[in-house]
């Protein structure tokens, strides 16, 4: 006798195959970013593009479409996880079916080639080298967004944002960002004036890469990352990629600034902990994956900023550096380390920015993305617009494009619409930490000992275990008590911490 969910079960089997293919595709990207010989670049670009096209064909095949339709008739026999999985699959199918394999292949080829060109252009501060690659990516992204906009009856910007942060809209992001734009410049100036009177000792001694890696691995261990299901490597731009049981993290090293590398590791470990603690039962299904990048960034930023820059953790860090790595002297005291990791100053590089000025880096990128998408801006115009917005929001202008519009991998990789997730993620991280501390008052004392036990338990129980089974607003409500992002709460947190 046939099962009452026979078609749905067959759909899950097909989705598992697609997930396996995506996981292997991510490893090809990881390999390209960490160890690909330079003369292998061209062939790898073609391989990644072909692989991406094959996955797209599988995901939008007539077979998948028929199984989705047939599964709709079985919905009364599905549990809540299965219903969510079917809804997510249909949403993804509807957004992808309007894109041909040729268009998908062109996007993959353009973004892979651009990403490799970006590495060389950034290293040599040669933006002209990147221009044709970037224009090709922008054209491919605009073409895909236009097709999806027509199909889904949404604006092109909303289509891109939703692909990274499900359920979020451009207008909602603008409302949040307008509050931050009104509050942050004045708050930044007050904090800078307050910190002028503080004595801070700069880290004077270079720390070699091997020592920095050892420190990073030790911190990953204390945070609860399972090294039997992941690894740490080196790349130009820190990232986390992979599947639940194979999480690949990277960082970059600067011998004159080990804090930058360490906090890159802490950030990416937050991403990795999310991946490793998603629901194992649904690991090969859409419902078992992370719910977009705003929540993903909340998991990295709760570790990097909410936990990593608190006094309790810097006390632990100072003790660890002294006891395990023989770092002594006033520059490595807990008080000095705390001042270093909470120093507020407008800076050029987003990933090294303090948490007060960081949202301004995101706001300017969001506004530029809208110009790229809605006004068909050409890549050659990017440096001038970038520099003018840096002056407007941060009061500084980069001397080179490498520390300006070429610093991030996102646009060369075709990830337009991603950046708002960082600031929404930072706000959600603060909301999560408030809720976690309300339930577990021992979090601060645990961080003082280098333990993330209660914090991880809260995140596992209230966010990570749900995967993508809930809508964004419902997951936010379940994990923080609020169903929308609270920028004023974030402003209050910054005022309390820094003033």
Residue 251, classed as helix, strand or coil, is strand
Residue 379, classed as helix, strand or coil, is helix
Strand bridging mode 230-234 / 246-251? parallel
Distance CA 329, CA 241 (A): 37
- Does residue 268 have an active-site annotation? yes
Residue 136 has φ and ψ, to the nearest 5°, of -65, -40
Distance CA 342, CA 450 (A): 19
Two tokens, residue 335: 């008080």
Q: How far is CA 452 from CA 112, 152, 155, 229, 443, in A?
A: 37, 42, 41, 19, 7
| Residue with the two structure tokens 């270079």 | 206
From the list 55, 56, 57, 31, the residue with the least C-alpha distance to 45 is 31
Contact 446, 452 (CB under 8 A): yes
Q: How far is CA 479 from CA 1, 444, 464, 492, in A?
A: 42, 19, 10, 20
Residue 476 has φ and ψ, to the nearest 5°, of -60, -45
Distance CA 265, CA 263 (A): 5
From the list 367, 375, 412, 419, the residue with the least C-alpha distance to 140 is 412
Distance CA 308, CA 322 (A): 18
**Residue 444: Cβ-neighbour burial (10 angstroms; 0-12, 13-18, 19+):** middle
Residue 238 has φ and ψ, to the nearest 5°, of -60, 140
For residue 303, what are the contacts with CB-CB under 8 A and spacing of at least 6? 223, 266, 267, 269, 270, 273, 452
Catalytic, out of 74, 115, 268, 334 = 268
H helices present in 224-353, as ranges: 258-276, 292-301, 311-325, 334-341
Residues serving a catalytic function are: 268
């Amino acid at each position: 006798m046939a099962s009452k969910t026979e078609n749905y079960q067959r759909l899950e089997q097909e989705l598992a195959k697609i997930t396996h293919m995506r996981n292997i595709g991510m490893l090809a990207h990881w390999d390209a970013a960490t160890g690909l010989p330079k003369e292998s670049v061209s062939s790898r670009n073609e391989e990644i593009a072909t692989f991406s096209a094959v996955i797209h064909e599988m995901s939008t095949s007539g077979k998948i479409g028929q199984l989705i339709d047939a599964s709709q008739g079985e919905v009364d026999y599905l549990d809540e996880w299965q219903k969510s999985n079917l809804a997510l699959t249909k949403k993804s199918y509807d957004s992808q079916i309007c894109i041909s394999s040729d268009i998908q292949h062109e996007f993959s080829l353009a973004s892979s080639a651009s990403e490799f060109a970006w590495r060389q252009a950034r290293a040599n501060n040669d933006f002209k080298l990147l221009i044709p690659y970037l224009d090709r990516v922008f054209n491919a992204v605009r073409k895909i967004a236009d097709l999806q906009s027509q199909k889904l009856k949404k604006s092109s910007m909303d289509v891109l944002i939703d692909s990274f942060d499900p359920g979020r809209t451009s207008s909602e992001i603008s409302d949040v960002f307008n509050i931050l734009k009104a509050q942050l410049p004045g708050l930044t100036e007050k904090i800078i004036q307050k910190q002028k009177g503080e004595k801070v000792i700069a880290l004077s001694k270079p720390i070699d890469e091997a020592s920095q890696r050892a420190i990073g691995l030790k911190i990953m261990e204390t945070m609860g990352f399972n090294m039997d299901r992941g690894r740490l490597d080196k790349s130009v731009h820190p990232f986390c990629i992979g599947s639940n049981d194979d999480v690949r993290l990277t960082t970059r090293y600067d011998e004159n600034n080990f804090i930058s590398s360490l906090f890159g590791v802490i950030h990416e470990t937050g991403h990795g902990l999310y991946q490793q603690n998603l629901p194992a039962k649904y690991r090969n299904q859409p419902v078992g994956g992370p719910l977009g990048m705003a929540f993903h960034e909340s998991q990295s930023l709760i570790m990097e900023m909410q936990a990593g820059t608190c006094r309790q953790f810097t006390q632990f860090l100072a003790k660890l550096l002294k006891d395990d790595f023989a770092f002594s002297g006033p520059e490595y005291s807990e008080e000095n380390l705390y001042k270093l990791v909470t120093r507020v100053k407008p800076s050029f590089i987003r990933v090294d920015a303090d948490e007060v000025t960081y949202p301004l880096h995101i706001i300017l990128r969001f506004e530029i993305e809208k110009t790229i998408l809605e006004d068909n801006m050409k890549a050659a115009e990017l440096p001038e617009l970038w520099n003018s917005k840096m002056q407007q929001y941060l009061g500084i202008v980069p001397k080179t494009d490498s520390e300006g519009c070429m610093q991030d991998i996102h646009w060369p990789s075709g990830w337009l619409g991603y950046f708002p997730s960082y600031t929404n993620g930072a706000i959600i991280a603060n909301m999560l930490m408030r809720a976690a501390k309300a339930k577990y008052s021992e979090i601060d004392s645990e961080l003082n000992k280098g333990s993330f036990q209660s914090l991880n338990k809260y995140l596992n129980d209230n966010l990570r275990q749900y995967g993508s089974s809930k809508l964004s607003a419902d997951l936010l409500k379940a994990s923080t008590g609020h169903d929308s992002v609270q920028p004023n709460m974030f402003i209050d947190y910054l005022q309390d911490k820094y003033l």
